[in-house]
Amino acid sequence: MALTANAVDLDNDRRHMRAALREAEAALVVDEVPVGAVAVAGDRIIARGHNLREQKQNPVAHAEMEVITRAAHTLGTWRLNDVTLYVTLEPCAMCAGAMVQARIGRCVFGTPDPKAGAAGSVIPVESILQNCRLNHRVEVSSGILEQPCRQILQQFFGKLRMV
């Protein structure tokens, strides 16, 4: 039996989110909040990254910002219309704004961020990512591998609370 286009898309989303989760695990190794991201063009990962705020002592070194910068460098353009950005945690307002500025075609995130999410949790998705008054709108999909994306964050913050 052949897979439908939706089933194939979901399989691809899961595969790329697993790559983002591996980046989140890499963040753990360097004592960063475990958020990982990958940028995909076509079906190829063109950039990978994770949070580096502590390592760089840079408040904007979120996983998404790192990956957007690397993807632009890889493609040789800041216009990333055909790029899908996979991230384990719902983007914040800064990262959502950067996605609009970079013309990211699609954002896929794993788990919602009830404290800073700008794709529906705290800030409505229509405020930034899909604001019809801005010059670009980003397609958004959520809940891909939500449980493992949430668990890695819960484990990290649970350990912090024990210290």
Cβ neighbours for 154, distance < 8 A, ≥ 6 positions apart: none
> Does residue 64 have an active-site annotation?
yes
Find the catalytic residue in 32, 64, 66, 90.
64
Conformation bin of residue 38: beta by default, left when phi > 0, alpha when psi is -120 to 50:
beta
> Edge-to-edge strands of the sheet including 44-50?
44-50, 36-41, 83-89, 106-111, 139-142
Give the span between the Cα atoms of 83 and 92, in whole angstroms: 19
Q: Which residues are catalytic?
A: 64
